[in-house]
Chains A and B, each alone.
Chain A
Amino acid sequence: MSSPSLEYKQDHWVGRFQAMASPCEILIDSDDQLLAAQLLQAAQDEALRIEHKFSRYRQDNITYQINQSHGQAVEVDEETASLLDYAQQCYELSDGVFDVTSGVLRQAWKFDGSDRIPTQQQIDTLLSNIGWPKISWQRPVIRVPAGMEIDLGGIGKEYAVDRTALLLEQIAPISILVNYGGDLMTTKARRNGQGWIVGVESTAMFKKKKNKTLTKTEFELLQGGIATSGDTRRYLLKNGIRYSHILDPRTGWPAKNAPHSVTVAAGTCTEAGILATLAMLQGKQAEAFLKAQEVRFWCQR
């Protein structure tokens, strides 16, 4: 574990560390260095705790235990139970578009920028191992049939952002911005009554520079969360078609005509993340879907 760095900028402290395969940043609206260091440490601990607990790359956590249970009942802790309840609610709300059992598709889809597209046969085989309703979830006991797995990673980073923000808010009732790899949450308005200036990162911005007035890359985040779902880094390219890493659990294929990235602002980072993912899966209809949700969003096509 690398030690976090702390730096003072104009009127706030910026703490940085690495977690969940992303650069993590905590902006602290205070001049108190000791407090900033304490908050940063708490943030890093929390991020690593959540990563450790829910990462599907580890063999010593609850996710591994559930996925290797071969249909045996596994009793889970309170936090995992809450996330499973949440996964179920998201599945129901999205009519099956958001499904934490869809992770097995990664056995066929390797998003490494290459042109290796799986065959339909491969996908069909995996599809029989997908579907939240096939899982028995009776809090606190889960039974996952052999061959199926759950992956809470789809909401893990956003959840970690929200959890960290809540934890830091308890330590110090000041304005703090948590930023894990571009997914953000802020606790409250800053001392000067303003929000944090946040930029929507995008590759498409360059194209639009000609149309100066149409680009709005920066805005002020007073309260709430922002999350981005996109394929700017993780994708496959074949015959000129770009396959997004967001896979549709109903078809086993990436959403067609999805935006390059979708950024959503909502009450919490987790909520924003789900909305961004659901929007990606709407493909061509991403913008229309988000409009119907009456949230602020940015789609890059």
Chain B
Amino acid sequence: MQLKNKHKPVRRGLALATASLLGVPVVNTANALQPSSEWEVDTSILFYAETDRVSLAEPIIRARKDIGDDQFLTMKLVLDTLTGSSANGAVATGSAQTFTTPSGQGTYTAGANETPLDDSFHDTRVALSGEWERPLGASTRAIFGVNASTEYDYQSIGVSATFNWDFNQKNSTLTAGLAYNADTVNPVGGAPVGFTPMPTFPSVKATQGTGLSKDVGDLIIGWTQILGRKDLMQVNFVYGNESGYLTDPYKILSVVDGTTGDTNSYVYEQRPDSRSRQAFFWRWSHMFEEDVFRISYRYYTDDWGIASNTVDMHYRFEINPRHYLEPHVRYYAQSAADFYHTSLIDGQSYDNASADYRLADMTDTTIGLKYGVSLSNKSEFSIRAEHMLQQADPSQVIGNQSAQDLVPDVTANMLTFNYTLQW
């Protein structure tokens, strides 16, 4: 939510006073105008590039139309084009390693002392969503949404409903929302059976079929409070539950000798088939004469054993009424999932295991700068550059593994161009 309430809203009180002066009922302002074409169109493109790894281009078009009676329709189209390499989960070793591609149609190789990256990673995702926002009575607004996305190996379809209730003369807003998504995973070459060995090409992996489902439900409760003329506070709580196929079908783990740490084989990862998570979020926005400062904190925890803390700060400098600069700093730290293992020890048994570094003890630091310019009072252009550093720790370092960088840092650069136009 934007800091639109830095000014005390007087409209409601004024509408009441005016109605009393004229001896008429309070008139809903929304009926005052019938806009024939009140459009707001937002276009942006994000370029994201991890050093030596994945790069992504993501154009987004969002159009919002005022359809009258205080109702709005929003449509959003997102295209993701992903290319490059992604860590497959195996650890670097002193010699070259050869892996079978997910499709089983070929192989790829990681050199000695190199983190194995699967370079068969290309995907295009198309996501479309729509929202209908409408008032429900005098102080409640409802937003109903639908969304669908498709990519080569993943389909998702979902619905959501959010209700915002204003009270305390519109100084307070209570939010309650529900969302449900039904996803289907169709892994390339089928979904491997967890802990079965990665076959040596041209052998084929054992699969548990394709078209596996995943259901995601989320519940959000939030409260937004205007504190005087200059401050806005927002808190919310999200409870989410996921069930079904939550494993990454393309990720493997190295199975190593418990003493030497040398890699003996590779097995497919397996994650639990459910996950329940909670997040608490707090944000404070302060308006100076013109500048705006925003700070937020988020605490997240789930039953996979991950707990994370995020602090995010933005400061918007109004250089003059047309130009602004907005530096941004974000720091994220998480504890590892219970089943995160940098590698597995041969002969031991595991219920679940993944070597995905995003489930490890990890920190993520992002710094960025955004520049925005109003081209007119109906259009704005902005450009944002961000740099991100992810640093993760291995769960265990065994024998010869100490010679390797088991979980190398990942750095990424992001560049976003945005253009907003109203007419």
Stretch at the interface among B30-38, B44-52, B105-113: B30-38
Q: Which of B245-298 contact A (CB under 8 A)?
A: 290
B7 A271 Cβ-Cβ under 8 A: no
B32 A267 Cβ-Cβ under 8 A: yes
Q: Confirm or deny: B376 has a beta carbon within 8 angstroms of a beta carbon on chain A.
A: yes
With a cutoff of 8 Å between Cβ atoms, the chain A residues found around residue B19 in the complex are: 267-268
B27 A224 Cβ-Cβ under 8 A: yes
Q: Which of A232-289 contact B (CB under 8 A)?
A: 265-268, 270-271, 274-275, 278, 282, 284-285, 287-289
How far in angstroms is the closest Cβ of chain B from A215?
8
Q: Confirm or deny: A21 has a beta carbon within 8 angstroms of a beta carbon on chain B.
A: no
A270 B378 Cβ-Cβ under 8 A: no
A292 B8 Cβ-Cβ under 8 A: yes
With a cutoff of 8 Å between Cβ atoms, the chain A residues found around residue B36 in the complex are: 219-220
With a cutoff of 8 Å between Cβ atoms, the chain B residues found around residue A270 in the complex are: 18, 21-22
With a cutoff of 8 Å between Cβ atoms, the chain A residues found around residue B14 in the complex are: 89-90, 93, 271, 274-275
With a cutoff of 8 Å between Cβ atoms, the chain A residues found around residue B29 in the complex are: 224, 265-267, 294-296
How far in angstroms is the closest Cβ of chain B from A182?
16
Q: Which of A138-196 contact B (CB under 8 A)?
A: 159, 162-163, 166, 194-195
Chain B residue nearest to A267 in the complex (CB): B27
Q: Confirm or deny: A221 has a beta carbon within 8 angstroms of a beta carbon on chain B.
A: yes
With a cutoff of 8 Å between Cβ atoms, the chain A residues found around residue B379 in the complex are: 214
B21 A282 Cβ-Cβ under 8 A: no
A223 B31 Cβ-Cβ under 8 A: yes
Bound-state CA distance A166–B18 (Å) is 13
A162 B22 Cβ-Cβ under 8 A: yes
A271 B15 Cβ-Cβ under 8 A: yes
Q: Confirm or deny: B168 has a beta carbon within 8 angstroms of a beta carbon on chain A.
A: no
With a cutoff of 8 Å between Cβ atoms, the chain B residues found around residue A225 in the complex are: 32
Q: Confirm or deny: A9 has a beta carbon within 8 angstroms of a beta carbon on chain B.
A: no
Size category, A interface: 35 or more
How far in angstroms is the closest Cβ of chain A from B289?
9
Chain B residue nearest to A270 in the complex (CB): B18
With a cutoff of 8 Å between Cβ atoms, the chain B residues found around residue A265 in the complex are: 29, 32-33
How far in angstroms is the closest Cβ of chain B from A265?
5
- The listed residue with most A CB atoms (<10 A of its CB), out of B21, B26, B31, B377, is B21
With A82-B21, A86-B17, A267-B18 as contacts: A289 and B27 at CB distance below 8 Å: no
Tell me which of B4, B13, B22, B321 contacts A163 (CB under 8 A). Answer: B22
With A270-B21, A288-B6, A299-B377 as contacts: A223 and B27 at CB distance below 8 Å: yes
A291 B10 Cβ-Cβ under 8 A: no
Tell me which of B9, B13, B21, B26 contacts A85 (CB under 8 A). Answer: B21
Q: Confirm or deny: B423 has a beta carbon within 8 angstroms of a beta carbon on chain A.
A: yes
Bound-state CA distance A115–B36 (Å) is 43
- The listed residue with most A CB atoms (<10 A of its CB), out of B6, B7, B15, B378, is B7
Chain B residue nearest to A286 in the complex (CB): B7
Q: Confirm or deny: A209 has a beta carbon within 8 angstroms of a beta carbon on chain B.
A: no
A268 B33 Cβ-Cβ under 8 A: no
Tell me which of B7, B20, B27, B33 contacts A282 (CB under 8 A). Answer: B7
Q: Confirm or deny: A94 has a beta carbon within 8 angstroms of a beta carbon on chain B.
A: yes
Chain B residue nearest to A274 in the complex (CB): B14
Q: Confirm or deny: B208 has a beta carbon within 8 angstroms of a beta carbon on chain A.
A: no
Chain B residue nearest to A300 in the complex (CB): B377
Bound-state CA distance A90–B21 (Å) is 11
With A268-B24, A270-B21, A292-B5 as contacts: A94 and B10 at CB distance below 8 Å: yes
Bound-state CA distance A65–B321 (Å) is 46
Q: Interface readout for B361-388 with A: 1 if CB under 8 Å, 0 if not?
A: 0000000000000001111000000000
Q: Confirm or deny: B11 has a beta carbon within 8 angstroms of a beta carbon on chain A.
A: yes
Tell me which of B32, B34, B378 contacts A266 (CB under 8 A). Answer: B32
Q: Confirm or deny: B28 has a beta carbon within 8 angstroms of a beta carbon on chain A.
A: yes
Chain B residue nearest to A89 in the complex (CB): B17
Q: Confirm or deny: A211 has a beta carbon within 8 angstroms of a beta carbon on chain B.
A: yes
With a cutoff of 8 Å between Cβ atoms, the chain A residues found around residue B31 in the complex are: 222-224, 267
- The listed residue with most B CB atoms (<10 A of its CB), out of A90, A94, A95, A292, is A292
B17 A222 Cβ-Cβ under 8 A: no
With A86-B21, A268-B27 as contacts: A292 and B376 at CB distance below 8 Å: no
With A268-B18, A275-B11, A288-B6 as contacts: A296 and B423 at CB distance below 8 Å: no
Bound-state CA distance A267–B423 (Å) is 23
B321 A271 Cβ-Cβ under 8 A: no
How far in angstroms is the closest Cβ of chain B from A5?
28
Bound-state CA distance A90–B14 (Å) is 7
A222 B21 Cβ-Cβ under 8 A: no
Tell me which of B13, B21, B33 contacts A83 (CB under 8 A). Answer: B21
Chain B residue nearest to A97 in the complex (CB): B10
A86 B18 Cβ-Cβ under 8 A: yes
How far in angstroms is the closest Cβ of chain A from B155?
38
Tell me which of A83, A213, A268, A289 contacts B423 (CB under 8 A). Answer: A213
Q: Interface readout for B309-335 with A: 1 if CB under 8 Å, 0 if not?
A: 000000000000100000000000000
A93 B33 Cβ-Cβ under 8 A: no
A-B contact pairs, 14 of them (CB 8 A): A82-B20, A82-B21, A90-B14, A166-B24, A214-B378, A216-B423, A223-B27, A267-B19, A270-B22, A275-B10, A278-B10, A293-B11, A294-B9, A294-B11
Q: Which 5 A-B pairs have the closest CB atoms?
A: A224-B32, A267-B27, A292-B7, A89-B17, A293-B11
Binding site for A on B (CB under 8 A): 4-11, 13-15, 17-24, 26-29, 31-36, 290, 321, 376-379, 423
Given contacts A163-B22, A271-B14, A292-B6, 14 further A-B contacts (CB under 8 A): A89-B17, A93-B10, A166-B22, A219-B33, A222-B34, A267-B19, A267-B28, A268-B18, A268-B19, A268-B24, A274-B14, A275-B14, A278-B10, A294-B29
